Structure 1
C-alpha cells in the first residue's frame, strides 16, 4: 500500500496540515532559490535566505556569508539582498546605500544594473514553472502510455463476467477492429460507438490463437479517480469502486451516471457500490461546478466528483523524453490559460467566486491528494507550483510582476519611480494581496465551505 494512503487515516486535520506545509515549502523553496541563485550569479549579494516568516527556529551562515534560516510561520519565504529595506526589495535600507562605495552598491539589489534586477525577480516564477515541467515530465515517463497494440496488463476486480486474461492482445470489440491508439480521434470515436450493453464480445490474440471471449463494457462504471473536496471524496468513495446501481436502477457504464446526476440538480442520489466483494450504499448530493470548455469559457453543471476507469489496466511503454517534455510544457500552458480564464470569468460574474479557494481549501486539496497516493500528491505540487508562479507574475506591487512593471517603467523613462510613489504603490499592492487572501479565506469558512 502507498505510504501516504496508509497514513491518511491518522489524524485528519494533522495529516492535511502536514502535507499542505510540505507542498507549500517545496514550492516556496524553489521559488526563492530562483531569486537567490540568479541574483548571486548576477553579482547581487544575498544576505538572508528564509523559508518561512517570524521567529527563527534554525539558522546557519554559509562560507559566502549568506544566512540560511527556517522560521516559525511556514506560509511563505524570502531572500533579502544587500541593501534591501525589507523582504520585498523595492526600497533601500535607510541610510545604508549612502555609506557604500561603488563596488558595494553594485552588490545590492537597488544598485545593480536593470538587467540583473529584472532577471533576479523573474527567476522566482520561472523556477516554479521549471519545477512543474520537471515533475510532469517525470510522471509521464513513470506512468508511461498505453502500448499499441492494446494488451491487457492487469485485470481490475469487478462483479462482472470476465473472460479476458492478462496478456491478451485486444484485436476487436463487437467485430470492429481496434484502431491505433496513436490516432486519438479514431480511437475516441471507436470507444464512443461501442454498444452500451453489460457484456461485449472481445476478439483477442491469446497464446498465438485468435479467439472471442466475453468481457464487460470497456468504460464500465468503475471509479478511476476521485476529485478532491467533492461530494464523492466526502462520502468516502475510492478508486476501484464499481457503481452497480444509481437511485435503484442498475448501471454498468460510466456514461450512464452524468445524465441522472445532472438532472438531480443537487438533490440526494443513492449509489450502490461493489468494493472487493462487499456491497455498500452511499447517498450523495451533487454540487454545482464550473467546468472549462475545450473551446474556452465555462459551463455550470452538477457533479459528484468521479472520473471514469476501465475494466483493465493496459500494458504501457515509456514515451520518448521529447514527447514527455512537450506534454509537460502543454500541461503547464493549460493550467496557466485555465487559471487566467477562470479569474476573468469570476471577475465578470460569469462563474461563481467559489472557484477561488483560500489556504484552508488548498490545504484540504493537498490532504485529499496525498490520501490517494504519492504520485497524486506530487502531481498537485506541480499544479500549485504553476499557479503560484503565475500569481507572482501578476502586475501587482509587492509581487514579482509588480517589480517587473517598475523595471519596465525604468527602462522606458531612464529612471526608477520615486521613492514616495513606490511606498504608495507597495502599500496598495499589499492591500490587494491581503484582500485576495481574506476573500479566499472567507470562501473557505463562510460562503463556500
Structure 2
C-alpha cells in the first residue's frame, strides 16, 4: 500500500496543476466575453468559475452574480435571456423592454464582438506572458556573452566565467548568437574545446565544453525519456555504450535503433552517473521543406549549452511584438497540425486528450514556475484557436451563424440552429472521446 503513495502524490500534483492552469485560461476567456458584452450593452447574469453547486458568490453593482462552483473544470458567463451556459438554443423569454440587454436581442456587431472576445482574450494572455518573460528575464545580447553557468560532468574541463565575451570556438570566429549554428557545423564534436574569449579587456584562450553538448533542456510529456525518469539538466554521456559529445549525435543513435530499446548513461548533478533503458516512440514532426515526417524520438530537447546567455533589457513594444510573434507561431502550428491529421499526413494519435494535457501541465509545473507559466501561455493560445473553429456550441460556430446573418440579412432558422447545435455537441463529445482513447491506447 505504501508503494502507491508516491504515485498518488504525483497524480494529485498533476491534477492540481491542471485545474489551476485550466481555471486561469477559462477565467480569462470568459472575462473577455463578459467585459465586451457589458461594454456592448449586454447584461451578464452569472459569471461562474467552475460548474455545479455554488460554493460562494457575491453580486456586483451591475447585477452580475460572481460565483465559484464545486467542479473546477471550466466556467461560463450566462447572459440575460440565455437558455444555458453555452448561450445555445432559442433562449428564455424576457421582458421586451430588456431585450436589447440580451445576447439574442443585441445588434449583430455587439454579438459578434462579445463572442469573438473570448478567444481574443486568450491570445492577449499568451502575448502578455511571453512579453513579460522578455521584459523581466531580458533578451540575449547580440554578442555571445556568458551568463549563468550550469554544473558539468567531471570529464568536461571548463574555465569559462560569467561575463566572458566569446570571440571564437575551436579556431572558428564567433560573430554573435545568430552565427552559432554555422560555428557548430564547422567545429568537430569534442568534450572540450578551445574558447577564445574577451575577459577584462584581454583576449584569452581557455578550455570549455562543446558548444552544443548532450545536455537535456526539456523532457516531453508521455515520452520515452519522461517514462524512464530523465530530467532537465541531465547530461547524456553515452547511448548503447557509444559516447556522445554533441546533442545532435543522440538523434542519430535513436534513428539508427528504429524503435529498439536503448541503454543510456546519464550524468546528473548531485547523483553522478545513472543508467536508464528506454524505448523510442514514433512521432510526426514538421519537416524542413514543409509537410510532416515520421521519426523515432525519445522526447528530449537540448543543444542550449552549459551556460545561459547574458541578457539585455527589452523595451515594451519590442517585448509585445515578440509575444505576438510567439503566440502567432502557436496558432499556426495548431492549424497545420490539425490540417495534417484531417488530411492523413500524420497519425491521429498526435491528437491528445485531457489526460495528456494534464500530464504535460503537471510536468511543466514540476519543472518550475517559469515553465508552468510558459505552458499556460501555449495552452491559452491553443484553446483560443480551437474555440474559433466553426463548430456549433464553440465560439467559432456562433461567429459562423452571425456571419451568415450579416450576409443574408437574417439569422438561420430555429430548426437549422437546433440541428447544427446538436451536431456541434456530438462533434465536440466525439473529439473528447477520441482524444481520451488516444491517451489510453496510443503508444
Q: Could you say which TM-score interval applies, normalised by the shorter chain?
A: over 0.9
Matches within 5 A, 1:184-199: 184=178, 186-199=179-192
Displacement, 1:330? 1.5
Alignment partner, residue 3 of structure 1: none
Displacement, 1:332? 1.4
Alignment partner, residue 13 of structure 1: 11
Alignment partner, residue 176 of structure 1: 172
Alignment partner, residue 248 of structure 1: 241
Deviations 1:238-264 (A, max 9, x none): 222121121111221112111110111
| Secondary structure, aligned partner of 1:38 | helix
Matched, 1:162 2:158: yes
1: CA distance, partners of 2:312 / 2:142: 9
Matched, 1:410 2:410: no
State the 4+ residue runs in structure 1 displaced beyond 4 angstroms.
none
1: CA distance, partners of 2:221 / 2:129: 20
1: CA distance, partners of 2:386 / 2:200: 55
1: CA distance, partners of 2:289 / 2:311: 30
2: CA distance, partners of 1:327 / 1:293: 24
Q: TM-score, normalised by structure 2?
A: 0.94
Alignment partner, residue 434 of structure 1: 429
Unaligned runs of 5+ in 1: 1-7
| Secondary structure, aligned partner of 1:11 | helix
Deviations 1:170-222 (A, max 9, x none): 211122221133xx2x3321222112222211112223322211222111111
Alignment partner, residue 65 of structure 1: 63
Displacement, 1:112? 0.7
| Secondary structure, aligned partner of 2:247 | coil
Alignment partner, residue 223 of structure 1: 216
Give the conservation status (yes or no) of the 8 Å contact 1:129–1:389: yes
Matched, 1:74 2:67: no
Give the conservation status (yes or no) of the 8 Å contact 1:155–1:313: yes
Alignment partner, residue 379 of structure 1: 374
1: CA distance, partners of 2:353 / 2:121: 23
Alignment partner, residue 41 of structure 2: 43
Evaluate the alpha carbon distance shift between residue 220 and residue 83 of structure 1 in structure 2; reply closer, same or farther with a 3 A threshold.
same
Which one of 225, 228, 241 corresponds to residue 235 of structure 1?
Answer: 228
Matched, 1:152 2:146: yes
Give the conservation status (yes or no) of the 8 Å contact 2:56–2:67: yes
153-162 or 278-287, which moves further after superposition? 153-162
Alignment partner, residue 390 of structure 1: 385
| Secondary structure, aligned partner of 1:221 | coil
Give the conservation status (yes or no) of the 8 Å contact 1:47–1:82: yes
Matches within 5 A, 1:351-362: 351-362=346-357
Which one of 137, 140, 151 corresponds to residue 143 of structure 1?
Answer: 137
2: CA distance, partners of 1:155 / 1:410: 60
Q: TM-score, normalised by structure 1?
A: 0.93
Alignment partner, residue 369 of structure 1: 364
Displacement, 1:295? 4.0
Give the conservation status (yes or no) of the 8 Å contact 2:129–2:373: yes
Give the conservation status (yes or no) of the 8 Å contact 1:91–1:110: no
Deviations 1:317-344 (A, max 9, x none): 2233333222211111111111111111
Displacement, 1:274? 1.4
Alignment partner, residue 126 of structure 1: 120
1: CA distance, partners of 2:308 / 2:404: 55
Evaluate the alpha carbon distance shift between residue 212 and residue 9 of structure 1 in structure 2; reply closer, same or farther with a 3 A threshold.
farther
Displacement, 1:371? 0.6
2: CA distance, partners of 1:42 / 1:266: 57
1: CA distance, partners of 2:132 / 2:289: 29
Alignment partner, residue 414 of structure 2: 419
Displacement, 1:47? 0.5
RMSD of aligned C-alpha atoms? Answer: 1.7
